[in-house]
Structure 1
C-alpha cells in the first residue's frame, strides 16, 4: 500500500515537472492499468493529480487568495528527493518568497505568489499560496494569514515523515525590496525623500 501511494506521488510529480499534456498522462495511465500490478492507478490525470473540483478562495482586499496545502508541498518535495533521515527528530529549514507580478500590461491585475523551498540540495520550489487582485493586497497580515497558520503548527508541533518527527524553521524570506517592505509593514527605501 505504501509503495502504491509513493508510486502515485512520483508519477504525479513527474507529470507536473515535465509538463506532459493531460491527454498523454491519460494515455499512459490507460496503458499502465492494463498490467495487474498497476490496477490501483486512476483512469484520469485529474484523479492522479488530485485536481480539486471546486477551488475555494479567501477574500483578501482588494482581491482573492488561494492557499495550497503547505504540508503537502513539503512532503512532495521530500518525496521527490527520496530523503531518508537518520535521527528521530529533524529540523528542516526553508526559504519563503513573495513578490508581485503584473498579469498583463493592459490591466492593473496582479498576482502575488507565496512560494517555498526546502534548504536541501536539489529541492524544488513549491506553491504555498497565490493572491490575485486589481492591486497588491491592502494588508500584509491578511495576505500571509493562511501561511502563518500552517507554518506555526509545523514549527511547533512538526509532522511525521518516514518515522521521523520533522519540524520546520524559516531560514529566510527571499523578496525584492518593495515586497520585503510590504510584508514587514515598513516604508520602502526612498519613500521619505524621493
Structure 2
C-alpha cells in the first residue's frame, strides 16, 4: 500500500480517507490511521536558513548516503562520491533559481543522485564560501572518520566535483572562462581575438594541487576557496565539463561549420 501510494502520487488526504475505510474491516484494523504514519514521514522538518539574499536548506551528506545505500546488497570498503553544483532557473517569467549540491555514489550499483543542500534566490549565492560551508563541514567529517552503514565502517573518497565552466569558476574562486588566465588545468595566458578570449597555442605549465593552494599564479585567482580545506586534489578532483566542451562545444561548432 505504501509503494502504491508513492508510485501513484496519491494525496495524503485521499490516502488517509482510504485508510479509514479499510480499517472498518476486521482484516485491516492494524493499518495506521493516517498517511503520515503509513509513509513514515519524518516529524522534524529540515531547517531553512536565510543566506544572503536567498534561503538555504541543508539535508546532510551522511543521512543522504545512508538512505541511498539502505537497499544495497554489497557496500564496498571505500565509497567514491561524485558531486555536482550548478544553478538552474525555475521559470522563464521570474529570476528565481535553485543552486543544488548533489551527490551520487559512483561505485555501488546504479545509485541515484540525492540532495546534500539547495539554495534558492533571485541570483546565485553572493558568497560561495558561505554557500559551501555546511557541505564542506559534512564532507570533512566523513572523509576523516568514515561512515558506518549497516554495522560496517566504510571509507569515503571524492572521485570528482563536476560543474560547468561558470559554476566551476564560482566555487573555485578563480577567473571566469572568459578571462585571460581562466584555464583550470594550466597557467597559459589567453589571447583576445575576434571579440573573444581563446588559447591558440598552449605554452603554459600544468597546474598542480600545491600551486593552486599556494595561489602561485595570482592572476588566476579571485580569492581563496573554502574547498581547499578538504583533503582533495584541487586539479584532478575537479574535471573539465565534457558535455559543454565537447558535445555542445567543439562538436556543435563543427556541425555548424560543416552544414551551414
Q: Which range, TM-score by smaller chain?
A: 0.7 to 0.9
Q: CA RMSD in A?
A: 2.9
Partner SS, residue 69 of structure 2: helix
Q: 1:126: how far off?
A: 0.6
Tell me which residue corresponds to 2:57. Answer: 66
Does the C-alpha gap of structure 1 residues 15 and 123 become closer, same or farther in structure 2, counting only changes over 3 Å?
A: farther
Tell me which residue corresponds to 2:42. Answer: 50
Q: Which moved more, 1:156-165 or 1:143-152?
A: 156-165
From 107, 116, 127, the equivalent of 2:103 is 116
TM-score by length of 1: 0.75
Does the C-alpha gap of structure 1 residues 27 and 79 become closer, same or farther in structure 2, counting only changes over 3 Å?
A: farther
Partner SS, residue 48 of structure 1: coil
Counterparts of 1:45 and 1:124 in 2: how far apart (Å)? 24
Query: Which of the pair is proportionally richer in strand?
Result: 1
Tell me which residue corresponds to 1:186. Answer: 174
| 1:98 matches 2:85 | yes
Tell me which residue corresponds to 1:169. Answer: 157
Does the C-alpha gap of structure 1 residues 50 and 142 become closer, same or farther in structure 2, counting only changes over 3 Å?
A: same
Tell me which residue corresponds to 1:7. Answer: none
Q: In the comparison of the two structures, how many residue pairs are matched? A: 174
Q: Which has the larger radius of gyration?
A: 2
Pairing 1:20-39 to 2, within 5 Å after superposition: 20-23=9-12, 26=16, 34=28
Counterparts of 2:93 and 2:74 in 1: how far apart (Å)? 48
Q: Which runs of 5+ in 2 are unaligned?
A: 181-191, 197-260
Does the C-alpha gap of structure 1 residues 58 and 21 become closer, same or farther in structure 2, counting only changes over 3 Å?
A: same
Q: Which runs of 5+ in 1 are unaligned?
A: 1-10
Partner SS, residue 169 of structure 1: strand
Partner SS, residue 154 of structure 2: strand
Counterparts of 2:19 and 2:147 in 1: how far apart (Å)? 31
Q: 1:83: how far off?
A: 3.0
Counterparts of 2:156 and 2:9 in 1: how far apart (Å)? 32
Counterparts of 1:135 and 1:97 in 2: how far apart (Å)? 18
Counterparts of 1:51 and 1:103 in 2: how far apart (Å)? 28
Q: Indicate the structure whose relative CO is greater, using CA pairs within 8 Å and at least 6 residues apart.
A: 1
Counterparts of 1:78 and 1:115 in 2: how far apart (Å)? 15
Counterparts of 2:129 and 2:140 in 1: how far apart (Å)? 14
Tell me which residue corresponds to 1:158. Answer: 146
Counterparts of 2:8 and 2:163 in 1: how far apart (Å)? 27
Give every structure 1 segment of 4 or more consecutive aligned residues whose post-TM-superposition deviation is greater than 6 Å: 27-30
1:84/1:162 contact within 8 Å kept: no
